[in-house]
Amino acid sequence: MDEYYSWPDNGVKGGGARAQAAWPAMCEALPVGTQVTGEVVGRQPFGVFLRIAGVPDAIGLAEITAMPHGAQLPQLGTHVSGEVFGHAHHNHQVRISLSGRRPAGT
């Protein structure tokens, strides 16, 4: 599967710094329990990356473990909904559960 993504500036130098600078505001705008919608912008064997509606600098990650049992990874361009269940501060990602259930161990 090589449906990789580049965020948030489609590979333009400085995109990581932009996400890092926006991180405190993203955490405030998207606290745990927030319902979100977004577009799948990248796929990996472990999950999908999302562009979260209304929060342009947010990097959403829905891991396969945060999807309903037996679910397939959504295709690129698919619009999905879910719930914020955490924040990965080390890589500035908003963790999303597409099933609406918090994954075990979180």
Q: What is the pLDDT of residues 34-70, one digit of tens each?
A: 999 999 999 898 889 999 999 888 889 998 887 777 7
Its pTM surpasses 0.95: no
Determine which helix (DSSP H) or strand (DSSP E) holds 47, and give its type and residue range.
strand 47-52
Question: What number of other Cβ atoms are within 10 A of residue 31's Cβ?
Answer: 9
pLDDT of residue 61: 92
**CA count, 13 A, side-chain hemisphere, 33:** 1
Q: Which CATH superfamily is domain 15-97 in?
A: Nucleic acid-binding proteins (2.40.50.140)
